[in-house]
Structures are given as C-alpha cells and as structure tokens.
C-alpha cells in the first residue's frame, strides 16, 4: 500500500510539472534547415543544402577568428531572401581563399516566414516569450539593446538557443556557439553583427504593435513614421540638405585618415548614430552601414544627383529625454550609369525645432 501511495504521489508531481521541465536541451546540431545543419562545411554542405540567395556580405570578425555571412531580407547584390527573412551564418575559423569550407558554428534567422516550412525548430518567429519559455524553460540570461527609438531583447536559454524579441513578440532566433551577451564588445563582434542584421536589413518600423517585417531593410526607423508621400517629379531640396548630403558623400570618397574622416562625419550624422562620448559610431554602425557606404560611395554620381524625395509625415524619434519631434525624408541619390542598379535613399531627419539643423538619420541603403 505504501509503495502504491508513493507511486501515485510521484505520478501526480510529474503531471503537475510544466511541459518545458520535462524537455532536456537538444544539441544545436539536431536542428535542421531544409537539409542543412550546424557542423556542416559552409560552402560544400550548408549553403548547398538550403535555398539561399547570394550573400550580401561575408566578413571576417574577431580579428579573423570567425566569419559572418549575411543573406538579407532587403535586396542586396540581387534579390533579397524570400519571405522577408534574413539568415546570418557564423563559421569558425574564418572563411578565406585557402579555406572556403570551414564548419558552420551558429545560425540566426530574423523576421518573416522562411523557416516555418524549412526547419524542425519547434518555435516560429512571431511567437510570444511565454511560448518560447514553455518549450525551453525560463531564460538563463537576458540583455536589452536600447538606442533612441530602437530596442531588441535577447534571451538566452539552455542548449545554445537565443530568442530575439521586440516588446512581446519574438522576431528571430539564434542557435549555436555564441559569446557572452555584450552588445558593445570590440573583441567579439557576433552580437553587433546581429544588431545590424535586424535593424539595417530586416526590421520593420517599430510601431505600437511590432508586426513582422513588411518592408525589410529600413534601419533606425522612427517610432511612428506614417506613409511617405509620392516622390516629387522634380525634387526641390533644402540648400542645407544638399550641402549635408554632398559633404557626407565627399567624405566617403576622399582619401583620408579614418580618424579624420570620422571627425568630418560627426556633425553630419544624427547623434543616435554616434557613441555618446563621440569616440566612434554607435554599435553595429561602423561594421556594417559605414563599411557598406564606404565601399559603395564611388558608384554614385559626383557631385551628387538627387533623383527624388519622399517626404515623411510628422513623427517622434527616440524616447524619454532624448525624444525629438520632426519628420524623416528619404532623399534618393543617382548611381553612375556604368555602375548599374537604381537610386538609393539617405534618410534625413528634419527636427520640428527649427533651431536644430537637419541630420542624416540612416545611410544603410547605399
């Protein structure tokens, strides 16, 4: 009788445990992405086993100890990823001419629906934090990146699983070998790469209800943007904005010391793009938006030629004491004919306070 009573008590306890408590963490190599999985060689196995567009960029990070490859929702070097999803792949060691097939050690997917039918991962982008916690247990660590109107929370779970969250909605996942959660680390650049992947290549406008990406590739958007008006057929640009954009593009194409170039850019950029101590760009900006702009600036007509302007509606950027009212215009610059491709926008913030000058709020689309 005592044994039967003990058995019933143990059974009752097991039934009362939450479902997540009965699930042991899976190895990251057990998750599949079509036929790709962590541990496979990057070029000869992984990218052949999953339907990806050509990479936007493959960059060495951590002083060449690792590589990061971006397959972006926003069109980049051709069409963007299908279903508005960005895929980020990390390898260790780095991809080089001598070693094009290092093993994949971590994978991230952000936004959209690409992985819904292509992976055995049990939770989908768009899930709530509670749904992730039910499957993986409570987070063992959580960090939030905040800058102006932008925010992204990363929750780490047992088993090398990370959920990326905007407010109450999960917008992406990372699985595999990742460093400590430190968004400003200068020696370990993985999290800076993922911030760029979300804010510059995937993130929608962060409205009161953070929907999944509908317009990929709009980094650093204001909190309540509204829809832009139709492009002006013959744009009339504020003379200061003309000067602002010419100075910005000239600084990118001129041969100069990097420190000198950065000091020339500071007065042209919105403060949210610069560290508060003005010693460098804000996290993620130098590595991706700046590097991309520096590489692509020579492809644009000199002096600048403005194709069209999309005027924004009244909005507020930032929050709390740093909140600013104004509007964000998209000013499209023409590329050189021989360079191919269409025009690309630079986002210019016009403060409502007319005592403050306009500034460049986003240049990640160049």
Domain edges within the chain: 20-199, 239-362
- How far is residue 337's CA from residue 50's CA, in Å, rounded to a whole number? 35
pLDDT at residue 185 in the model: 84
pLDDT at residue 283 in the model: 80
CATH number of 239-362: 3.20.20, 3.40.50, 3.10.450, 3.30.1380?
Answer: 3.10.450
Torsion 165-166-167-170 (CA) sign: negative
pLDDT at residue 19 in the model: 40
pLDDT at residue 292 in the model: 86
pLDDT at residue 77 in the model: 66
- How far is residue 83's CA from residue 40's CA, in Å, rounded to a whole number? 24
- How far is residue 76's CA from residue 70's CA, in Å, rounded to a whole number? 10
**Residue carrying structure tokens 């008590």:** 9
**Residue 131: which H helix or E strand, with range?**
helix 129-136
**Residue carrying structure tokens 């397959």:** 71
Q: Which residues in the chain come in under a pLDDT of 70?
A: 1-27, 77-78, 148, 204-236, 341
- How far is residue 184's CA from residue 182's CA, in Å, rounded to a whole number? 6
Find out whether 165 and 152 touch, Cβ atoms under 8 Å: yes
What is the four-CA torsion angle of 228, 72, 182, 91, rounded to 10 degrees? Answer: -170
**C-alpha dist (Å) from residue 158 to 117, 132, 133, 139, 161:** 24, 12, 11, 8, 6
pLDDT at residue 98 in the model: 86
Spell out the residues 6+ positions from residue 59 whose beta carbon is closer than 8 angstroms to its own. Answer: 67, 68, 69, 193, 287, 291
- How far is residue 72's CA from residue 216's CA, in Å, rounded to a whole number? 9
pLDDT at residue 78 in the model: 66
pLDDT at residue 138 in the model: 94
- How far is residue 197's CA from residue 306's CA, in Å, rounded to a whole number? 28
- How far is residue 294's CA from residue 306's CA, in Å, rounded to a whole number? 19
The C-alpha angle 290, 348, 200, rounded to 5 degrees, equals 40
pLDDT at residue 64 in the model: 87
pLDDT at residue 28 in the model: 75
């Amino acid at each position: 009788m005592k044994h039967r009573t003990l058995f019933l008590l143990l059974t009752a306890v097991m039934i009362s445990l939450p479902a997540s408590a009965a699930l042991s963490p899976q190895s990251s190599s057990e998750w599949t992405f079509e036929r790709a999985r962590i541990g496979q060689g990057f070029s000869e196995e992984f990218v052949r086993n999953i339907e990806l567009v050509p990479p936007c960029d493959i960059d060495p990070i951590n002083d060449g100890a690792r590589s990061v490859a971006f397959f972006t929702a926003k069109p980049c070097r051709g069409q963007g990823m299908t279903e508005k999803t960005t895929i980020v792949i990390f390898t260790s060691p780095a991809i080089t001419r001598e070693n094009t097939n290092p093993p994949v050690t971590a994978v991230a997917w952000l936004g959209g629906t690409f992985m819904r039918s292509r992976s055995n991962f049990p939770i989908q982008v768009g899930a709530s934090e509670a749904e992730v916690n039910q499957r993986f247990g409570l987070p063992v660590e959580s960090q939030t990146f905040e800058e102006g109107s932008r925010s992204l929370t990363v929750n780490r779970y047992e088993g090398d699983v990370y959920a990326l969250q905007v407010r109450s909605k999960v917008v992406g996942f990372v699985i595999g070998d990742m460093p400590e959660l430190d968004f400003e680390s200068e020696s370990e650049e993985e999290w800076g790469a993922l911030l760029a992947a979300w804010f510059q290549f995937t993130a929608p406008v962060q409205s009161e209800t953070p929907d999944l990406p509908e317009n990929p590739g709009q980094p650093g958007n204001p909190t309540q943007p509204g829809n832009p008006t139709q492009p002006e057929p013959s744009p009339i640009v504020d003379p200061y904005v003309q000067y602002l954009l010419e100075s910005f593009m000239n600084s990118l194409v001129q041969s100069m010391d990097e420190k000198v170039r950065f000091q020339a850019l500071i007065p042209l950029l919105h403060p949210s793009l610069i560290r508060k101590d003005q010693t460098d760009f804000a996290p993620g900006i130098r590595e991706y938006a700046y590097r991309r702009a520096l590489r692509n600036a020579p492809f644009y007509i000199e002096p600048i030629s403005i194709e069209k302007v999309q005027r924004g509606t009244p909005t507020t950027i930032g929050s709390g004491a740093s909140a600013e009212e104004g509007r964000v215009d998209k000013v499209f610059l023409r590329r050189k004919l021989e360079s191919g491709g269409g025009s690309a926008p630079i986002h210019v913030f016009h403060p409502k306070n007319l005592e403050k000058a306009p500034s460049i709020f986003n240049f990640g689309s160049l």
